[in-house]
Chain A
Amino acid sequence: MEAGELITKKRNDQIKFKKKLIKEKKVLFAGIFILTVLLLISMILSLLFGPVDITVFETFRVIYHNIFKLFIKSNISLSSGISNDIIWGIRFPRVIMAAVIGMGLSVIGVVMQAMVKNPLANPYTLGVSSGASLGATFAIMIGVGSVFGPHFIGLSAFLGALISSLVVYSIANIGAKSSSIKLLLSGMAVSALCSAFSSFIIFIANDAQGMRTLTFWLMGSLVSATWDNILLPAVILIAGGLYFLSQFRNLNMMLLGDESAITLGSDLNFYRKIYIVITALMTGMVVYVAGTIGFVGLIIPHIVRAVVGTDHKKLIVFSGLTGAIFLIWTDVLARSLLQGTEMPIGIITSLLGAPFFIWILIRKTYGFGGN
C-alpha cells in the first residue's frame, strides 16, 4: 500500500515536472515568436520612411506586388516607375541590410564577450575596426585594390579586418596558450599599430577629398545597399549566426574557463581559433558593406542578457532578433533626422550607445574580466 502510494506520488511529481518544463519552453518560444513578428513589422513599416513621401497604400502595393509577383489593380507604376524604384530598388534592400547587419553585429558581440570573458567587448575589440580603417585608408588614399572594381574600398577594408584579427590571434597564441586577457591586450596593441599606419598615410597623402570620403566611410552607413551587394553579406552573416547558435554550449563554457571546459569535454583553445576566423569574416563583411557601426554589438547583448540571462542558447537568438530590429530603426533615424541629407548611422548608434556604456560602467553589476 505504502509502496503504491509512493509510486503514484512519484508519478504525479513527474507529471508536474514535465508540465513546468513545457510551460517554460512555451514562454521561450512565445518570446522568439513575438520578436520575429516585431522584426517583420519593423521591416515593412520602416519602408515608409525616407526623403520622398510615398503613401502607405502605395508602399504596400509595391511590396505585395514584388513579393508575390501579382498585380493588384493592374497598374504600370507597380513594376516600374518612381515608387517601385524607391521602395523596391532602394529602401527594401537597405532594410534587409540593416536587419542582417544588426543581427550579425549583435551575435558577434555576444561571441566576442564570451571569448574574452569581458562584458565590455564588442565586434571591434580585437583590432578589427582599426584593421578595417587601415584597409579603407589604403584604398581611398593610395588607391590600392582599385582593380577590384567599384567595391574596392569595402573589399580592402574587409581584408584589413580579416588580417588584423588573425594577427591579433596569432600574437595571443605565441608562447603560452592564448587567454582572454592576452587576446584583449594584443587587440589593443594591433589597433594602436593600425591607427598609427592610417594616420601616417593620411598625413603623407594630404588629400582633402580623400579624407572626406574616408571620414564618411568610417562613420558607417547603409547607403550603399543594393540588391546586388546584399546577398553575400546576408548569406555569411546569417550562416555565421546559425553556426554560433549551434555553439551555445561552448560559448557558455568559455565563461567558466578553459580548464573547466576540458573537464566537460571541450577543448576551447581549438574552438577559439575557429570562432576568431568566423567572427573576423562576419565583421569584415559588415565593414565591407557598411563601414564601422559602433556600439550595436555592445549594447544589444547587454540589454538582452539582462532580460534572458547568460545562457547562450537564448542569448544568441534574442540578441540577433533584437539587434536586427534596433538597426532597422536607427537607420530610419539616420534617413529622416536631418532634412534633405542623410546622417551616418554610426553617429546615431554611438550617440545612443556611448551613454549606455557609461551607465553600465557606473552601475557595475558585472565583474570586469578577471575578478
Chain B
Amino acid sequence: MRLKTNNVSIELGGRNILEDININVAQGEFVGLIGPNGSGKSTLLKNIYRVLKADTGLIYLDEDNLARQPLKVTAKKMAVVKQFNNFSFDFRVEEIVMMGRAPHKSMFEFENINDYQVIYDSLEKVNMLEYAKRSFSTLSGGEKQRVLLARALAQRTDFLVLDEPTNHLDIRYKLEILDLIKSLDMEVLAAIHDLNLAVSYCDRIYVMKEGKIVAEGNPGQVISEELLKEVYQIEARVRKDTETGQLSIIYLPDHHLKSNTA
C-alpha cells in the first residue's frame, strides 16, 4: 500500500469536517475522490499533503507516518498539483519549475547541471520545453497548469496528489492534462469535480458526503443513479457506451423531468 489514512477526523466549530476517513492507494493505482462541494474532499487532501493537521488519525505514505516526517522528506516522495492561483510577481517558466527542486537542495546549495536536466526533462514531458524562457503570466490557463505539473514532476516523486487542478480549464486541456498524468506511471490520488472525467480516468473511486466516505470501488460498481441521487441530489442516467464500454453520466435537468411526467 502506497498511501493509507487511518481514521482521520477533523472537527471545526462543533461540526465534523472529516469523520473517520480510511482510504488507501495501492501500487499503480489512479484513485479518485468525488463528492459535492463541502463534502470534505479538499480538506482530506490538505491533510494528506500536510497543509492541515487532523485532530485524530494517522496518514501513512510508504508505511511512514507523515506527521513525524520533515516536510522536505515528504516533498521528495509526494508532489501536489493544485488549482492555479495568480502570483503578483512574474517568474519565468523555468524558474517556477526549478522550485520543484527545492526539496532536494540545502540552504547554500545552488542549482547544478543535473537540476537543469531534470527541469528540462519535466518541461519536455508536459510539452512546454520551448516555453522555458517565457514569462509565466503570458501563458494560457492550460499552459500554466502544465507548467505546475512540470514543477511537480521536477520533484521526482512517484506519488502525485491532484487537488482539482483541471477545474477551470477547457475540456480539451482537462483531457490533455489527465491523459498526461495517466501516462506517467505514478500513483495518483485526485479530487475530480467532473464525474464523467472521474469515471474515465480512475481505477478506483471514493465518494464523499458530509465528511464521510459513503461508497468505494471501481467506477462501474460505484457510480449508479441511486448514488448520484443520494449524494448529489440530482437525477441522472448512467449509461455504458456500447462501442467503447465507457461509462457516461447524463444529467437530467428539472424542466426535462417535468415535461416527462406531465
Contact = CB atoms under 8 A, between A and B. Distances in A.
Contact of B74 (A259, A265, A309, A310): A265
Contacts of B100: 264
A182 interface: no
Interface stretch (A245-253, A320-328, A336-344): A245-253
A118 B88 contact: yes
B89 A310 contact: yes
Given A264-B155, A265-B74, A266-B71, A249 B92 contact: no
A219 B116 CA distance: 47
A189 interface: no
25 contacts: A17-B120, A118-B88, A119-B88, A253-B99, A255-B88, A256-B87, A259-B51, A262-B51, A263-B50, A263-B80, A263-B82, A264-B99, A264-B102, A265-B75, A265-B103, A266-B71, A266-B102, A305-B89, A309-B92, A310-B90, A310-B91, A310-B92, A310-B95, A311-B92, A371-B88
Given A17-B117, A259-B51, A262-B50, A249 B102 contact: yes
B262 interface: no
A258 B103 CA distance: 15
A369 interface: yes
A309 B91 contact: yes
Interface of A: 17-18, 21, 113, 117-119, 246-247, 249, 252-253, 255-260, 262-267, 305, 309-311, 313, 366-371
A267 B88 contact: no
A371 B88 CA distance: 7
A263 B49 contact: yes
Given A265-B75, A266-B102, A246 B107 contact: yes
Interface residues of B, number: 37
B85 interface: yes
A44 B86 CA distance: 45
A34 to B, nearest CB: 20
Contacts of A305: 89
A285 to B, nearest CB: 23
Given A17-B117, A263-B49, A367-B86, A309 B95 contact: yes
A160 to B, nearest CB: 30
A311 B95 contact: yes
Interface string B66-96: 0000111111101110100111111110010
A260 B79 CA distance: 10
Interface of B: 46, 49-51, 70-76, 78-80, 82, 85-92, 95, 99-100, 102-103, 105, 107-108, 110, 113, 116-117, 120, 155
* Top 7 A-B pairs, shortest CB-CB distance: A265-B75, A265-B72, A265-B103, A367-B88, A263-B80, A265-B71, A310-B89
Contacts of B74: 265
A247 B106 CA distance: 10
Contacts of B107: 246-247
Given A265-B75, A266-B71, A259 B82 contact: yes
Nearest to B105: A249
Contacts of A311: 91-92, 95
A208 B227 CA distance: 81
Contacts of B91: 252, 255, 309-311
B49 A367 contact: no
A263 B78 CA distance: 8
Contacts of A260: 80, 82
Nearest to A263: B80
A260 B51 CA distance: 9
Contact of A21 (B88, B92, B116): B116
Contact of A249 (B78, B99, B113, B116): B99
Given A259-B51, A260-B80, A263-B78, 7 more contacts: A17-B120, A21-B113, A117-B88, A246-B108, A255-B91, A262-B49, A366-B90
Contacts of B108: 246
A263 B89 contact: no
Nearest to B72: A265
A162 to B, nearest CB: 25
Contacts of B117: 17
Given A264-B75, A265-B103, A313-B110, A252 B88 contact: no
A264 B103 contact: yes
A18 B79 CA distance: 27
B241 to A, nearest CB: 37
Contact of B89 (A262, A265, A366): A366
A368 B88 contact: yes
